[in-house]
Structure formats: C-alpha cells, structure tokens
Amino acid sequence: MRQTGQVPILRVAGVLLVAIQVDLGDTVATALQEDVLEAIARTGSTGLLIDVTGLEMVDSFVARVLVDTGRMARLMGTETVIVGLRPEVAGTLVRMGFDVSEVQAALDIDEGLERLGCKVVRRGAD
Amino acid sequence: MAPTEAAEAKVLTREALPVRSEDDVVLVRRRARELAQRRGFDGFAQAAITTATSEIVRNALVHGGGGEATLEELDRGGRAGVRLTCRDEGPGVLDLERALRGGFSVTGTLGLGLSGARRLVDEFEVRSAPGAGTTVVLTKWARR
Amino acid sequence: MRPEDAIDRLQLDEREVRRRRDYFQVTDEDLARLASHRDLATRHNDEVIEALYQFILGHPESRAFFPDAATVARVKQLQRRYFLGLFQGRCDPAYAEDRVRVGATHETIRMPARLYMGAYAVYLELIRAMFERELEPAAARAAYASAQRLVAFDMALAMDTYVAAAEDTIVRHQAAVRELSTPVIRVFDRILLLPLVGTIDTARAQQVMETLLTRVAEEQARVVIIDISGVPVVDTKVAEHMIMTTNAVRLLGAKTVVAGISPVVAKTIVQLGISLTALETRGRLQDAITLALELTGRAPAGRQA
Ligand SMILES: Nc1ncnc2c1ncn2[C@@H]1O[C@H](COP(=O)(O)OP(=O)(O)O)[C@@H](O)[C@H]1O
Ligand SMILES: [Mg+2]
C-alpha cells in the first residue's frame, strides 16, 4: 500500500493496519493522521488497527493525534482499535490525566482484528 | 555527631541542547531516556521522565519560541536521578496556576502537558513571569 | 556494605570533607602539629596497636570477630597504617575514603557499632598516654587535643558508614515488602487476580498499577480481578486509583473486575457520591471469577452459552 514518510499503511483482511515503529516527531504524527484518513477514504475499510508496539513514548501530542484519528475515522464509518501499547506507556498516559474512555484497545493484532469483527483462526485455539 | 543535613544532589554529567525545532524536541526526549536508562531507571520511570521532558521542551518551542534544555545525571546518596532544566525567552506562562491545574490550553490542544509532566516527576518547578520567559526544572529519581 | 559503595554513598568530595572538618574543627594547625610528631608515632606504632588489640581480644564479644591468628595479623597491619594516617598532615577526600574503608570493613564483618566505637575510646586513651609519656605537658595537651579532633572526624565517618549500610538494608527490605504487597496471581489462563490488602496511598497505588500492568502484558491477560475486601477504607482517593488502574489496564486490551465490595464499602461509595460506572464490580470474589470466565468466553459449567 501507500507509504507515508516512515509509517507503512497496510491492508489486512479488509482492515487498515498501521504499525508505528518509531518515535514520532509532531509533523510526522500529523502527516500520518492525514495519510490514514486518505487511505480510509480510498479503501472504504471499516476497521483501523493502529499497532503502537514500537512506541516507547506517547506524550499528550501523540496521544491526541491517536485519539483524534480514531474520532475522525469514526465519522467516516471506521472503527479504530489500538494494539500493543506498552505497560509503561499506558501507565504514563493515565497518570497524566489523559481521558482514555474513547480509546478501544486490544492486546495484539489478532485480538484487534477479532475486535473489529474479523474471523481469526488462532493457532492452538479450538 | 556529624551534621545531618540531607544529602545534596551531585551532578555527574550535564549537557545543554538547543530547542529550536521539532527535531530538537525528539532529540532532547530521546537523550533524556538514554540518561534514565544509563542511570538504571525502570521502564515506568524511563517513560515518565521521557514524556515529561517531551511536554516541557515542546512547550518551550511552541509557546516560548524556542530556548535551551539542559539535562543532568544526578546522584543523591546513592539514588540515581535525571534533571531537566528548560529555559525560553518567550512571553511567559500567562496564567500559571490555571495552566498547572490542567485542561487549559491556548492552542486548543489538551492542556495536559504542564500538569501531566508535573504528575510524572518527583520535583517540579516553574519560574515564569509575563514577558520574562519561562524556566521549568524537573527531576525524576530512580526507585531504590 | 562494600567500601566502594560506602564511599559513593557518603559523597566525600572536597566540599563535603571541608564541611566535616569545619564541624569537628580540624584545622591545618592540628594537622601540622600531628605531622610534627610523626617520628614519635612511628616509634610507638607497634606498641599502641598491640595494646589496642590486647583490649579487643581480651573481650569475648569483640574477640569473636577475629577467629584466627592470620586475621589478627592482617587487621593489626591495617591498624598500623591507620594509626600513622593520623600523622600524615592531611585530611582530604583521599584520607576520608581511607577512613570509610576501615569503617566499612568492620561493618562487613558485622561487628556491632557499639564494639567498634568502644575500641575508639581505648585508642584515644592510648594516644593520650603516648603523648604524655613523650612530650612536655603543654605540648602533650596540644597534641592530644588535635588528635582528639581528628579521631572524632574519623569516628563520624565510621558511624555514617554504619548508618548508610543500615539504610541500605531497610531500603532492600522495603523493596521486598513492596513486592509481597502486590501479589498478582494467575487464577486461570489469561485471568489475573490481585488481592489488595492494607492501606492504599498514592505511592502504593502507583506501585500496584505498575506491577499489575507489567503482569498483564507478560501474561497476555484479558481480565484482571482486583479484590479489595482486604482494604480497610475505601474513600474517594482509593476509588480514583481504582479507576485509573482500570483505565490503564483497558489500554492494554484487558478488562478489570473489582471484587470484594462489602455492604459497608457499597454504602460509603454511594454516600460519597463516587461514580463507579466505569468499573465492573462484584461483591463476592467467586462472582467476579464467574464474570471473568464469561468475559473470556469460557462460560462456567452448567451455564454454557
Ligand atoms: N514555555 C511556555 N511559555 C509560555 N506559555 C506556556 C509555556 N508552557 C506552557 N505555557 C502555557 O500553559 C498552557 C498549558 O500548557 P500545556 O499544559 O502544555 O498545554 P498545551 O501545550 O497543550 O497548550 C499553554 O497553553 C500555554 O498557554
Ligand atoms: Mg504543551
């Protein structure tokens, strides 16, 4: 799929998958938001999975970009799930007083896809 | 008996970094993490100092028009610490009390930077006066 | 405590040594005066140390720390050097570190501070006797006064070394207690239980959250049960911490169920006007586990969906 600066946006099982692997500068984060929205418009995907396993830090700016992207996606009819948030990042966000009530999160990509209504056959599961 | 004044923080290293661009914000917070790692901070403490640094340095750039960030590795009686001193010559924080309470922002963003950073660290001080710039000093100590 | 750690802890730089010297009034004159008696001290070194060890080894309690002749010979050698150190005419960081090293050595063999300090009294007495025997009364008084100040400086370093070591022990124990006070138990595959017992202050709440989040990630947990039946008072602060922890757990993709809401707690929560709508709660732990099983798609026996 399309490559934005440093963050690839893939389409997996009818869902858009964005894996953020690097510490995002503000401009890159904002650009990513635009690219994601464009990709939604282009593909008509009803699900958006943002994998933040690679993010060592989420400050109020990045958090806001993530939450806003989810809100904007919802307006376009797309549900967003964040996966792979690190324990220390989750702890930091709530400690800062960040309102996370709107954020949908899942443990990993498999569960994220499940949450978005995709059937995933888990190895080892019945 | 020997004097029993609380041990003072010893500065092990100090480096000053410019805050002129967005890339500088990334560089300073990355450096803060490196120092925290080197000082043996656990993951949560590393995330705390990195995130607080990011907030304060971004504020210096966005609201203060840029400035300088100084990072120090500290030791106080065997306890490791990292301190950020971020200085700008901008307009100063207009309503400091309100800004520290959180949820207040002139740029329409979240307004959780200052208040959030304060919650993440062990020592936090803002020196600011209208027209006279802003200096934020924050320190995070490793858990013993 | 290792000598290097003790030295590190006491932060004996120029300034700190200066501060200590000022407090004990160890002047340059004192140091010069003692240095002028270096030859005297060298001549009497063996005799002073022999007398000191006669005292130490004469007491069953302190003798126990010196099990064999080799050890005694070794520490005597150290003590001779230590004694001459008083007459080197300097009292700087290197000197202070040397002193800490000796204190740390005694702490390492777990010699009680009482015995260690007791030996100092004898030591001073021996020094006084030496001066009185060898010098004019006025000179002896002056030399002894100088020695007293410097030895007091040394004693303080020894004490501080002991205190630092004790603090370290306490901190280590605190860390152990902290671990124990946050026992996260895996009750079923991907279901964790955290039985909270005791008072929850902000520091502990933070610790609990960090431990819990780490375990949720490690165990790939889907449900966390926090049992608060062991928490004596549930007030607004505790409720806030619960909500915060629940939110953080949710960000990892897991759910939290709070169990152990007693009638008293339920009453307090309603009377305080605390909104717990964000939390899934249950009275009995059993019911919370049932809910957790349902939430993980494993309806308990007899209630198959
Ligand atoms: N260095 C600074 N110089 C001037 N004003 C500042 C500075 N830092 C913070 N402020 C003021 O404090 C407010 C709150 O800051 P913050 O909590 O970081 O929120 P945000 O940056 O999202 O607006 C800012 O909107 C701004 O008015
Ligand atoms: Mg800000």
Question: Which helix (H) or strand (E) segment is A101 a member of?
Answer: none
User: What is the predicted pLDDT for the residue at B7?
Assistant: 65
Over residues B12-62, the pLDDT tens digits come to: 999 999 999 999 999 999 999 999 999 999 999 999 999 999 999 999 999
- The CATH number of whichever domain residue C76 belongs to comes to 1.10.490.10
Tell me how many domains chain C contains. 2
Q: Kindly indicate the confidence band of residue A121, based on its pLDDT and cuts at 50, 70 and 90.
A: low
| Cα distance between residue C76 and residue C135, in whole Å | 26
**Residues C21 and C152 reside in one and the same domain:** yes
User: A13-27, B17-31, B74-88: which range is least confident on average?
Assistant: A13-27
**Residues C150 and C220 reside in one and the same domain:** no
Residues at CB less than 6 angstroms from ligand 1: B 55, 59-60, 63-64, 88, 90-94, 99, 104-107, 109-115, 134
Over residues A84-94, the pLDDT tens digits come to: 999 999 999 99
Mean pLDDT over A65-84 rounds to 95
How many DSSP H helices and E strands does chain A contain?
4, 6
Chain C CB contacts of A106 under 8 Å are 253
* Structural domains of chain A in order of their starting residue, each with its CATH number: 9-113 (3.30.750.24)
Q: Residue C113 is part of which domain span?
A: 3-176
Give nearest CA residue, ligand 1 atom 10: B93
**Residues C136 and C282 reside in one and the same domain:** no
Residue C260 inside a domain? The answer is: yes
Ligand nearest to the CA of B86: 1
Beta-strand relationship, B79-88 and A79-83: unpaired
**Residues C138 and C197 reside in one and the same domain:** no
Domain coordinates of chain B in residue numbers?
A: 3-141
Contact in structure between B83 and B71 (CB atoms under 8 Å): yes
> Which superfamily does B3-141 belong to?
Histidine kinase-like ATPase, C-terminal domain (3.30.565.10)
Between B50 and A124, the more confident residue is B50
- Which residue among B22, B46, B103 places its CB closest to the CB of A27? B22
Residue indicated by tokens 């006491």: C10
Residue C192 inside a domain? The answer is: yes
Residue C41 inside a domain? The answer is: yes
In the sheet that holds A47-51, the strands lie side by side as A3-4, A7-12, A15-19, A47-51, A79-83, A105-106
**Residues C124 and C247 reside in one and the same domain:** no
Residue C13 inside a domain? The answer is: yes
- The CATH number of whichever domain residue C199 belongs to comes to 3.30.750.24
| A26 touches C at CB < 8 Å | no
Q: Do A91 and B44 touch (CB under 8 A)?
A: yes
Q: Residue A102 CB: number of other CB atoms within 10 A?
A: 10
Q: Which two tokens stand for residue C256?
A: 């939290």
Look at residues C151, C170, C34, C157 and name the one whose alpha carbon lies nearest to residue C103. C157
Look at residues C134, C118, C164 and name the one whose alpha carbon lies nearest to residue C5. C164
User: What is the predicted pLDDT for the residue at A86?
Assistant: 96
Strand-pair partners of C256: C224
- Ligand 1 pocket: which of B89, B106, B124, B128 to mutate (most atoms <8 Å of CB)? B106
User: What is the predicted pLDDT for the residue at B3?
Assistant: 41
Ligand nearest to the CA of B108: 1
| Cα distance between residue B30 and residue B50, in whole Å | 7
Q: Which two tokens stand for residue C91?
A: 């009292």
User: What is the predicted pLDDT for the residue at A6?
Assistant: 67
Last residue within a domain, chosen from C176, C193, C220: C176
Is the pLDDT reported for residue A53 higher than 60? Answer: yes
User: What is the predicted pLDDT for the residue at A69?
Assistant: 95
Look at residues A2, A69, A71, A84 and name the one whose alpha carbon lies nearest to residue A30. A69
In order of A25, B12, C281, the CA distances from A22 in angstroms are 9, 30, 38
**Residues C160 and C193 reside in one and the same domain:** no
**Residues C9 and C130 reside in one and the same domain:** yes
Contact in structure between C10 and C164 (CB atoms under 8 Å): yes
- Which residue among B44, B110, B113 places its CB closest to the CB of A88? B44
Residue C302 inside a domain? The answer is: no
Residue of B nearest to A59 (CA): B51
Give, as residue ranges, everything with CB less than 5 Å from ion ligand 2: B 59, 113
Over residues B98-131, the pLDDT tens digits come to: 888 876 666 555 678 999 999 999 999 999 988 8
Residue C291 inside a domain? The answer is: yes
Look at residues C182, C252, B46 and name the one whose alpha carbon lies nearest to residue A90. C252
Residue of B nearest to C4 (CA): B78
Phi, psi torsion values for C188, nearest 5 degrees:
-140, 170
Residue C300 inside a domain? The answer is: no
Residue of C nearest to B45 (CA): C210
Across chain C, which has 305 residues, the per-10-residue mean pLDDT values are 83 91 95 96 94 90 85 86 93 92 81 83 93 95 96 92 84 73 88 90 88 95 94 84 92 94 86 80 92 85 50
Is the pLDDT reported for residue A113 higher than 60? Answer: yes
Contacts by residues A101-106 (CB-CB < 8 Å, ≥ 24 positions apart) = A101/C247, A101/C278, A102/A67, A102/A70, A102/A71, A103/A66, A103/A67, A103/A70, A103/C250, A103/C251, A104/A70, A104/A79, A104/A80, A105/A81, A105/C250, A105/C251, A105/C252, A105/C253, A106/A81, A106/A82, A106/C253
User: What is the predicted pLDDT for the residue at A22?
Assistant: 81
| A10 touches C at CB < 8 Å | no
Ligand nearest to the CA of B69: 1
**Residues C130 and C234 reside in one and the same domain:** no
**Residues C105 and C239 reside in one and the same domain:** no
Is the pLDDT reported for residue A60 higher than 70? Answer: yes
Question: Which helix (H) or strand (E) segment is B16 a member of?
Answer: strand B10-19
In the sheet that holds B10-19, the strands lie side by side as B10-19, B67-76, B79-88, B134-141, B123-128
Chain B CB contacts of C23 under 8 Å are 2-3
Look at residues B12, B9, B4 and name the one whose alpha carbon lies nearest to residue B77. B9
